[in-house]
Amino acid sequence: MAAHWRRQHGNLTRLMINGTGAVATGCALAIILAAKFIEGAWIIVLVIPCVLALLKVIRHHYDTIDRLLREDGPIAFRGLRRPIVVIPIERCDRLAEKALRYGLLVSQDVTAIHLTRLEGPDVKEHEGRLLRQWRDEVERPARKAGLNPPKLVISPSPYRSFIGRLLKHISEMEKQRPGCPIAVVIPELVKEHWWDYLLHSSRPRQLRTALLRHGGPNLVVVMVPWAREEPHPKK
Per-residue pLDDT tens digits for 37-64:
666 666 777 788 889 899 999 999 999 9
State the average pLDDT over residues 181-196: 88
Q: Which of 30-39, 160-169, 189-198, 211-220 has the lowest mean pLDDT?
A: 30-39
Higher pLDDT, residue 176 or 231 = 176
Residue 29 maps to a domain: yes
Contact status, residue 32 vs residue 40, Cβ threshold 8 Å: no
Whether residue 112 is predicted with pLDDT greater than 90 in this model: the reply is yes
Q: Where does a domain end: 19, 37, 69?
A: 69
Confidence band (pLDDT; 50, 70, 90) for 120?
low
Give kind and range of the element (H or E) at residue 77.
Answer: none
Query: Given this model, what pLDDT does residue 110 score?
Result: 94
Are residues 138 and 220 located together in one domain of the fold? yes
Q: Which of 25-29, 129-133, 164-168, 193-197 has the lowest mean pLDDT?
A: 25-29
Kindly tell me the sign of the dihedral angle through the C-alpha atoms of 197, 96, 109, 77: negative
* CA 146/CA 85 separation, integer angstroms: 18
Are residues 40 and 96 located together in one domain of the fold? no
Helix ranges restricted to H, 70-121? 94-106
Rg (CA), the chain: 29
Domain that holds residue 142: 84-226
Residue 171 maps to a domain: yes
Are residues 111 and 166 located together in one domain of the fold? yes
Q: Which of 17-31, 80-94, 129-143, 193-207 has the lowest mean pLDDT?
A: 17-31
Contact status, residue 11 vs residue 5, Cβ threshold 8 Å: yes
Higher pLDDT, residue 170 or 34 = 170
The CATH number given to whatever domain includes residue 167 is 3.40.50.620
Higher pLDDT, residue 217 or 152 = 152
Whether residue 121 is predicted with pLDDT greater than 80 in this model: the reply is no
Split into its structural domains, the chain has a count of 2
Are residues 180 and 88 located together in one domain of the fold? yes
Are residues 126 and 183 located together in one domain of the fold? yes
Are residues 135 and 183 located together in one domain of the fold? yes
Q: Where does a domain end: 23, 39, 69?
A: 69
What's the pTM? Answer: 0.73
Beta bridge partners of 189: 226
